[in-house]
Amino acid sequence: MKKIKFSTAGESHGELLLGILEGIPANLEISEAYIHNQLKRRQMGFGRGKRMQIESDAPKICTGVRLGKTLGSPIGMIIQNNDWKNWKNKMSVSSISNDIKKITLPRPGHADLAGIQKYGFDDIRNVIERSSARETAMRVALGSVCRKLLEKFNIYIGSYVTSIYTIKDLNNYQNITPEEMNTKADKSMVRSLNNNVEQEMINVIKTAKEDGDSVGGSFQIHIAGVPFGLGSYTSWDEKLNARLGNAILSINGIKSFDIGLGSLSEEKKGSQLHDEIFYDEGFKRGSNNCGGIEGGISNGQKIIISATMKPIPTLIKPLQSVDIHTKESKLAHKERTDSCSVPAASIIGESMACIVICDALLDKFGGDSMEELTTHIKNSAKY
Ligand code: EPS
């Protein structure tokens, strides 16, 4: 990240989540209500467990905003964990005398075993709490501020679910806007745009849940309105595709990331894949297989990202594991879980993309205030 810095803190069942976002120019209008609307989108989706019914995920802006506008200083936020009241002993900050049962059966696919080995813990609870996807609520909150900034420059981000388990939506939605995409996807329990596969997606999640199992899937993110020239080919860490990849692959459970046709590019010859160039009052392209980024630079077309999330590793019908203390062969630990959280992951993906595009925009155009940034973009942005 070049201009934006952010960090989050907080455990899944601790008192709250904490976030700090630095680098947002002064005078951006922002409200808790705007951020809360994005957080509500993350809470939705068929296949979530009971936790989302407990949480309201209401953000509180604590610093960096005055009278509805950013000050240019670090923006600090908190989100209370409503469930904390049920975990006060287990998550006590101070050492307490109560005997708290340790978790000793690592779940295959989770951070459990690698985590205790790395940090020398004898209780997997110490790993579960921070490796939980609960943390992503704060990423969505901070990403919403970046989304608000991007909207000021008509850059919009949308997403939808392309597959759940083996049920795929093969339609191409390049012709609809990200706003249209979200309007429709947000009404669907699985964030699907395709009425023909939506029910099948719901059914595979239902079956997985009934079987004590879980399912993953894929989603696509579309970013429209991005000017030419964000990112660069000049150095490895300037490339916009790599910066987006880093952000998306950092989301819990994400196993693959693609730009444009991505891994499907191998099925095409060069003559079939590359997007031909025409001129008609400006350069035009015949297609967008590159997904809006060439040579690590945005080319003015829609940026199209695909990502795949693995099935959640906490299983109600657990897999084989080994007790970390006794070394006895036993079934893995189980606790409340989601049977599918791909719809939520698509919102987290949108939010991470917002942070990266906002960072790249500020990197190229700069400005201490929104007024300055607007002037710089007006004077030099190419669309
Ligand atoms: C999540 C909160 C968690 C899980 C889920 C995501 O709440 P709890 O563990 O109390 O049920 O629902 O996290 C996982 C499944 C995981 O493996 O980390 C959230 O807020 O998104």
- Please tell me if the CB atom of residue 44 comes closer than 6 angstroms to any atom of ligand 1: no
Q: DSSP label at 10? A: -
- Distance between CA atoms of residues 64 and 58, nearest Å: 18
Q: What is the DSSP string of 266-293?
A: GGS-HHHHS--EEESSSEEES--TTTTE
* Residue 128 alpha carbon, nearest atom of ligand 1: 18
Pocket-testing residue among 48, 51, 90, ligand 1, by greatest number of atoms within 8 A of Cβ: 51
* Residue 55 alpha carbon, nearest atom of ligand 1: 20
3-state SS assignment for residue 302 = coil
Of the chain, the percentage scoring pLDDT greater than 90 comes to 97
Q: How many Å lie between the centroid of ligand 1 and the Cα of residue 159?
A: 21
* Residue 42 alpha carbon, nearest atom of ligand 1: 21
Structure tokens at 140: 């969505």
Sequence-separated (6 or more) residues with CB below 8 Å from residue 206 = none
List, for residues 86-95, the tens digit of each pLDDT value: 999 999 999 9
Q: How confident is the model at residue 161 (pLDDT cuts 50, 70, 90)?
A: very high
pLDDT at 310: 98
List, for residues 212-269, the tens digit of each pLDDT value: 999 999 999 999 999 999 999 999 999 999 999 999 999 999 999 999 999 999 999 9
pLDDT of residue 11 exceeding 80: yes
Q: How confident is the model at residue 172 (pLDDT cuts 50, 70, 90)?
A: very high
Q: Which residue minimizes the CA distance to atom 1 of ligand 1?
A: 134
Pocket-testing residue among 16, 82, 132, 205, ligand 1, by greatest number of atoms within 8 A of Cβ: 132
* Residue 314 alpha carbon, nearest atom of ligand 1: 17
Give the mean model confidence (pLDDT) for residues 47-64: 96
Query: What is the residue whose two structure tokens read 């296949």?
Result: 47
pLDDT of residue 382 exceeding 90: no
List, for residues 101-146, the tens digit of each pLDDT value: 999 999 999 999 999 999 999 999 999 999 999 999 999 999 999 9
Q: How confident is the model at residue 383 (pLDDT cuts 50, 70, 90)?
A: confident
pLDDT at 53: 94
pLDDT of residue 197 exceeding 80: yes
Q: What is the DSSP string of 184-221?
A: HHTTSTT--S-HHHHHHHHHHHHHHHHTT----EEEEE
For helices 32-43 and 342-365, the axis angle rounded to 10 degrees is 140
Q: Is the pTM of this model over 0.95?
A: yes
pLDDT of residue 98 exceeding 80: no
For helices 136-152 and 370-380, the axis angle rounded to 10 degrees is 60
- Please tell me if the CB atom of residue 336 comes closer than 6 angstroms to any atom of ligand 1: yes
Structure tokens at 19: 């976030």
Q: How confident is the model at residue 99 (pLDDT cuts 50, 70, 90)?
A: confident
Alpha helices in 104-214 (DSSP H): 112-119, 125-131, 136-152, 178-185, 195-210
Give the mean model confidence (pLDDT) for residues 305-313: 98
pLDDT of residue 97 exceeding 80: no
- Please tell me if the CB atom of residue 51 comes closer than 6 angstroms to any atom of ligand 1: yes
List, for residues 318-337, the tens digit of each pLDDT value: 999 999 999 999 999 999 99
